[in-house]
Amino acid sequence: MIAVSASKLSTADLNNLMRALEIDVVALTEILVPRGHRAEMGMIDAPAIHYNLKGSGRISINRGPNMQLMPHLLIIVPPNTPFSIEVDGGDGATRLINRDCWKRDEEGLLRVAVPNEKPEVVQICGFFNASFGQSVGLFRDLREPVVEQFEPSDKIDGKLREAMNELLSQEVGMGAMTASLLKQVIIALARRSLKSSQSWTDRFSILADRQITRAFADMVARPGAAHTVQSLAYSASLSRSAFMARFSEIFGRSPMAILRDLRMRLALPRPEGRAQGRQEGHRSGRHPARPGARALKIGSFVDACDCAGGN
């Protein structure tokens, strides 16, 4: 396979991908860790985004080496990856924040905090899915954390606080607004990475092959168009056989199978007609996904935390 830096992808292709990216917010959690304490969370089947609002401490991801936490540090953690956040006390020891300090309010917002203790580290942690259609997740194949240092002028904290306020308000359109705000954070992260000397976007298979990415970007931008394997191969400047082999290597499925998922997600008919599209969907055993079907419910999320990170 020919791997090309994502920073060399065309602006049009990247714009198409970012425009089509769908965000499902699983849960937002506020973590407040005072000196001499640590917070632990177990495995959740969704990527996690950590943004350190204030304070200095350490984070350990998947029981690995500690990483220094500083204000405005943003970290994307792969799915099913436990983590812990700690702040040293006077003697260097830390005490685990137990489940009695995990408080879920009526709106479902989870706060991890120690009563009557001033927090040293204040962090927003969000669990989410970022995907194209039903089967292509941007962060699902992430194998190591993504780390980027932002500045106060980037206003990432404002977007995440607004997302939390949306969850608390429970107003009409809350889900759409929360997803939109988190998508702005993901786009800001992508922009920062593309300007960095060590671009994390190169770690993603769907961005590693410029020719295949070009064809895939066309698919997500125009899922209702009369695409064929031949036309997509032409878009990628590849022979039909080379395109099929490289596309299947990256996505694990054929181009037409991925395209069918994109169309079903958007409830778009195949060019041959809506009825045939439904018949093919039934034959494949797949049905159009309900909006947010991939996201865990807030209550289930908290239950999963209790099971995964139990004392």
What is the reported pTM?
0.75
SS (H, E, C) 121-139: EEEEEEEEEEEECCCEECC
Tell which residue, 137, 133, 148, has the closest CA to residue 185.
148
The confidence band for 293, taking pLDDT boundaries of 50, 70 and 90, is very low
Specify the pairing of strand 83-87 against strand 73-77: unpaired
Say which residues have a Cβ less than 8 Å from residue 272's Cβ, sequence separation at least 6: none
Q: What angle do CA 162, 192, 208 make, to 5 degrees?
A: 120
Reading the block at residue 178, the tokens are 């929360």
Residues 144-197 pLDDT 10s: 888 889 999 999 999 998 888 887 777 788 888 888 999 999 989 888 877 765
What kind of architecture, by CATH, is found in domain 203-284? Orthogonal Bundle (1.10)
> Residue 246's pLDDT is what?
94
pLDDT tens figures, 107-158 = 557 788 888 889 999 999 988 989 887 778 888 878 888 888 999 999 999 9
Q: Hey, what are 73's tokens?
A: 């540090």
Query: What residue spans define the domains of the chain?
Result: 21-198+298-308, 203-284
CATH class of domain segment(s) 21-198+298-308: mainly beta
> What are the pLDDT digits (tens) for 56-82?
999 999 988 999 999 999 999 999 999
Residues with Cβ within 8 Å of residue 146, at least 6 apart in sequence: 75, 76, 189, 193, 200, 203
